[in-house]
């Protein structure tokens, strides 16, 4: 997953329309002027003096954010009013470029604040997020629904091909016009007023949803009384569970923390079936059990408001509105692709279940006990047994070869050096917001600094679930900025003194997120609106998925897959087993993903008068899974609706994007293999034709410039083992 859009207007539009907290207006002009001392002491009021404008984490206090938001919004509104009321005829420079330069304090404050609320939140930051959500939304609306400003943009749009602009300039005019129209600039005043109200309500509801999800992930951690119940976990995992219990003042007990997915990692290892069931059930009821974190009412309200706004905008539903601006273009295209994949995926999952049921039956017979039916909490445990039997290895054999920093530096960075000529140097002189964060200077092949990169790898209670990339500073020739980018993962931190040993999934996730980082680092555009990952949502995952291919590329793997104690390389036979098992359990993986992606579409393709009430959200989910053909009882969706953070945020009607992007990814992997794989020539071509372009060109056009043809689905079907029974 990638970062929020950086540009203030784009963030206002994108997050305001998705229902998450977004930039918006306020009443700063009603507050007393700040003293000169207060102004000088707030580090968010000016560009950071640190290299590449790296944030001054050691100087930024939580108390700095509200004044920075207030001043930033007030300043930007003044700038926008000056642009809108300029007596001179509209030109590209005095309107579009002026907009791109506006809101510097606001943009800077938002970038730091929203990145911190994701990576290291606290009560103060959560309250600020709640207090300002509606204000941010109103601020975005005050800009996007300014009739004088839109008139100037519309005038330029009508003459865009006669302004003497280069291709990026023409596209910027087109993008501004489209953004404003999609925000409601062509609506009547009555309709605009209603859209403003909806956006403010969605911003508040989205913030509350995300805070509920994080709070209940922490509150739902499973407490275990005895060490014996944890049989199957490693000594390090048991120690970490004991430390987690101690942190909660539960001395002598053990705590298994939850991730914000339906499946939980410990389910693959725990031998105690009753504990597996308890852990699974604790996971799936989150957000829908009638407590203070219940999200069903929020979901119903958000869906109704989104559907109403889509209708006002002239669309039959929210999905139609969202998808028009993606590469998919319409719900029919998304439904067709997901519908093509679902039957094959579920059929594969059912075959996998038969294999696991056979293992259960054999084990129970050997014990002289009656067998039992495979349940969702059994899947990961028995899948691992089948994997061991079929390929004669388990995940625990891999982990000693995947020490975290070695994976990062001698795996991820090594591949980037071979492909693109990049070099990395860790630095410890820059401040960080948490002691676990690593910071690196990134140098291009010519030795010039390209970027600063932050790696925030560990899970903690103040950090949202999942993995993502964000930017603190976005590249732009207009501003002269070079990128400051960060990757975030949620790897459990081992007890002090113990090595951080990663699973294969965590390794590939590290390569994936660095693919997003490369997309930000290699950005070579003029205007902030197009910087880095500011591309359609169903395209943004594509470059990061391509970067996963280097995790098991022989030359790369040989450089990092070394035993953390002895330095011995991973045995070739073990790697061969890993590669042979690459399609194993893909029925499950594809089915759980499609279940969530099709749920997203099912909810967002509803018209306003068909949205379920709070009490009907979960029954609708059950019915939708059945209607979509993804209701295989043993494989629940990767996210159930009440904790499906993606679709309450920037991926509303867009969770399909991962597999849509994977079509492009699978095609690109084939191209790399056809052209010799890991080489500077190939990397430089990918960088020049695609990674450097950001949103400055049509997304599919950049793909075709790189690949030389339209995308085809067959490589994806082959990769996921969906082409043969």
Q: Residue 28: pLDDT above 70?
A: no
Determine the Cα angle at 416 with ends 413 and 418, to 5°. 110
Average pLDDT of the residues in 284-303: 97
Predicted pLDDT of residue 22 = 30
User: CA-CA distances (angstroms) from residue 335 to 48, 340, 341, 594, 654?
Assistant: 46, 8, 10, 11, 12
660-684 confidence digits (pLDDT tens): 999 999 999 999 999 999 999 999 9
Average pLDDT of the residues in 106-132: 97
Predicted pLDDT of residue 396 = 83
Average pLDDT of the residues in 447-459: 97
Do 619 and 602 meet the contact criterion of CB atoms below 8 Å apart? no
Could you tell me what percent of the chain has a pLDDT over 90? 87
User: CA-CA distances (angstroms) from residue 359 to 264, 348, 351, 651, 674?
Assistant: 21, 17, 13, 39, 40
Q: Residue 10: pLDDT above 90?
A: no
Q: Residue 123: pLDDT above 90?
A: yes
Predicted pLDDT of residue 308 = 98
Average pLDDT of the residues in 436-456: 98
Average pLDDT of the residues in 15-37: 33
Residues in the chain: 725
What's the maximum distance between 2 C-alpha atoms anywhere in the chain?
Answer: 90
Predicted pLDDT of residue 718 = 86
Give residue 583's pLDDT band: very low, low, confident or very high (50, 70, 90): confident
Do 639 and 261 meet the contact criterion of CB atoms below 8 Å apart? yes
DSSP letter string over 161-199? GGS---HHHHHHHHHHHHHHHHHTTTS-HHHHHHHHHHH
Q: Residue 281: pLDDT above 90?
A: yes
Q: Residue 7: pLDDT above 50?
A: no
500-546 confidence digits (pLDDT tens): 999 999 999 999 999 999 999 999 999 999 999 999 999 999 999 99
The SS3 call for residue 688 is helix
Q: Residue 11: pLDDT above 50?
A: no
* Phi, psi at 326, each rounded to 5°: -105, 175
Give residue 24's pLDDT band: very low, low, confident or very high (50, 70, 90): very low
Q: Which of 32-46, 110-124, 157-171, 597-611 has the lowest mean pLDDT?
A: 32-46
Picking from 535, 545, 543, 522, the residue whose alpha carbon sits closest to that of residue 453 is: 522
Give residue 16's pLDDT band: very low, low, confident or very high (50, 70, 90): very low
Dist CA 144 CA 38 (whole Å): 31
85-109 confidence digits (pLDDT tens): 999 999 999 999 999 999 999 999 9
Predicted pLDDT of residue 638 = 97
Q: Residue 238: pLDDT above 60?
A: yes
First to last CA, the chain: 31
In the annotation, is 573 catalytic? no
Predicted pLDDT of residue 724 = 56
Q: Which of 155-164, 573-582, 699-708 has the lowest mean pLDDT?
A: 573-582
Task: Name the E strands within 444-503.
Answer: 449-458, 468-473, 484-491
Picking from 688, 585, 600, 686, the residue whose alpha carbon sits closest to that of residue 637 is: 600
Do 713 and 341 meet the contact criterion of CB atoms below 8 Å apart? no
User: CA-CA distances (angstroms) from residue 444 to 73, 268, 283, 634, 635?
Assistant: 36, 42, 44, 48, 45
Q: Residue 73: pLDDT above 50?
A: yes
Of the candidates 201, 352, 506, 513, the residue annotated as catalytic is 513
Picking from 565, 455, 558, the residue whose alpha carbon sits closest to that of residue 511 is: 455
Q: Residue 292: pLDDT above 50?
A: yes
Report the interhelical angle of 617-628 vs 296-313 (nearest 10°): 70
- Bridge partner residues of 453 (DSSP): 440, 485
Q: Residue 419: pLDDT above 60?
A: yes
Q: What is the helix, strand, coil percentage profile of the chain, to 5?
A: 60, 5, 35
Q: Residue 472: pLDDT above 90?
A: yes
178-191 confidence digits (pLDDT tens): 999 999 999 999 99
What average pLDDT is seen over the chain? 92
Predicted pLDDT of residue 12 = 37
Q: Residue 78: pLDDT above 50?
A: yes
Structural domains in the chain, sorted by start:
8-199 (1.10.1370.40), 220-284 (no CATH)
Task: Name the E strands within 100-146.
Answer: none
DSSP letter string over 545-580? HHHGGGGG-HHHHHHH-B-TTT-PBPPHHHHHHHHH
Predicted pLDDT of residue 5 = 29
Q: What is the CA radius of gyration of the chain?
A: 25
Q: Which residue has the higher pLDDT, 396 or 301?
A: 301
Pairing of the two strands 222-224 and 254-256: antiparallel
Q: Which residue has the higher pLDDT, 184 or 33?
A: 184
Do 711 and 663 meet the contact criterion of CB atoms below 8 Å apart? yes
Give residue 580's pLDDT band: very low, low, confident or very high (50, 70, 90): confident
Element (H, E) at 639: none
Enumerate residues 6+ apart whose C-beta is below 8 A from 105.
44, 45, 68, 71, 72, 75, 76
Average pLDDT of the residues in 277-301: 97
Give residue 39's pLDDT band: very low, low, confident or very high (50, 70, 90): low
């Amino acid at each position: 997953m990638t970062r929020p859009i950086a540009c203030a207007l784009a963030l206002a539009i994108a997050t305001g329309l998705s229902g998450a907290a977004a930039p918006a207006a306020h009443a700063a002009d009603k507050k007393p002027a700040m003293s000169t001392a207060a102004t000088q002491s707030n580090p968010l009021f000016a560009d950071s003096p640190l290299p590449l404008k790296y944030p001054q984490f050691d100087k930024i206090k939580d108390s700095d954010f509200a004044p920075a938001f207030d001043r930033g919004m007030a300043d930007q509104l003044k700038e926008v009013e000056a642009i809108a009321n300029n007596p001179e005829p509209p030109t590209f420079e005095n309107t579009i470029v002026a907009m791109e330069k506006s809101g510097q304090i606001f943009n800077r404050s938002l970038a730091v604040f929203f990145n911190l609320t994701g990576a290291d939140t606290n009560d103060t930051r959560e309250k600020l997020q709640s207090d300002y959500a509606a204000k941010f939304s109103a601020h975005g609306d005050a800009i996007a629904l300014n009739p004088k400003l839109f008139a100037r943009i519309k005038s330029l749009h009508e003459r865009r091909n006669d302004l003497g602009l280069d291709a990026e300039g023409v596209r910027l005019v087109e993008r501004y016009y489209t953004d404003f129209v999609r925000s409601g600039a062509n609506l009547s005043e009555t309709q605009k007023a209603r859209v403003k109200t909806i956006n403010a309500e969605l911003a508040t509801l989205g913030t509350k949803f995300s805070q509920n999800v994080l709070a209940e992930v922490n509150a739902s951690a499973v407490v275990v009384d005895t060490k014996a119940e944890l049989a199957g976990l490693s000594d390090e995992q048991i120690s970490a569970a004991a430390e987690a219990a101690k942190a909660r003042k539960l001395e002598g007990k053990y705590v298994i923390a939850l991730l914000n997915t339906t499946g939980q990692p410990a389910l693959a290892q725990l031998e105690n079936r009753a504990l597996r069931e308890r852990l699974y059930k604790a996971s799936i009821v989150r957000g829908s059990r009638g407590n203070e974190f219940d999200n069903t009412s929020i979901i119903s309200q958000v869906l109704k408001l989104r559907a109403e706004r889509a209708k006002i905008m002239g669309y039959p539903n929210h999905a139609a509105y969202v998808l028009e601006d993606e590469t998919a273009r319409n719900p029919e295209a998304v439904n067709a692709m997901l519908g093509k994949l679902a039957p094959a995926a579920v059929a594969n999952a059912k075959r996998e279940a038969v294999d696991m049921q056979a293992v259960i039956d054999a084990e129970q017979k050997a014990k002289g006990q009656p067998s039992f039916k495979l349940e969702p909490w059994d899947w990961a445990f028995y899948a691992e047994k089948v994997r061991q039997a079929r390929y004669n290895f388990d995940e625990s054999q891999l982990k000693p070869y995947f020490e975290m920093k070695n994976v990062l530096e001698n795996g991820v960075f090594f591949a980037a050096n071979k492909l693109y000529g990049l070099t990395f140097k860790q630095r410890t002189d820059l401040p960080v917001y948490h002691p676990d964060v690593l910071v690196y200077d990134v140098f291009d092949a010519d030795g010039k600094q390209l970027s600063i990169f932050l790696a925030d790898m560990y899970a903690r209670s103040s950090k949202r679930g999942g993995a993502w990339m964000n930017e603190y500073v976005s590249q732009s020739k207009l501003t002269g900025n070079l990128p400051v980018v960060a990757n975030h993962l949620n790897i459990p931190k081992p007890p002090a003194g113990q090595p951080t040993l990663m699973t294969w999934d965590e390794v590939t996730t590290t390569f994936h997120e660095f693919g997003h980082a490369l997309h930000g680092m290699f950005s070579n555009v003029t205007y902030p609106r197009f910087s880095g990952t500011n591309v359609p949502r169903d395209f943004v995952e594509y470059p990061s998925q391509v970067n996963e291919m280097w995790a098991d590329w022989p030359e790369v793997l040989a450089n990092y897959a070394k035993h953390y104690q002895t330095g011995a390389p991973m045995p070739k036979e073990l790697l061969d087993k890993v590669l042979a098992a690459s399609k194993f359990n893909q029925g499950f993986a594809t089915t759980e993903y499609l279940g969530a992606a099709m749920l997203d579409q099912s909810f967002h393709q509803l018209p306003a008068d068909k949205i379920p009430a709070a009490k009907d959200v979960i029954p609708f989910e059950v019915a939708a899974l059945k209607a979509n053909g993804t209701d295989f009882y043993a494989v629940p969706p990767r996210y159930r609706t009440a904790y499906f953070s993606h679709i309450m945020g920037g991926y509303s009607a867009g969770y399909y994007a991962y597999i849509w992007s994977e079509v492009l990814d699978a095609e690109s992997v084939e191209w790399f293999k056809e052209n010799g794989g890991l080489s500077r020539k190939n990397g430089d071509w990918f960088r020049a034709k695609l990674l450097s372009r950001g949103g400055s060109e049509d997304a599919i056009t950049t793909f075709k410039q790189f690949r030389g043809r339209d995308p085809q689905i067959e490589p994806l079907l082959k990769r996921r083992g969906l082409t043969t029974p």
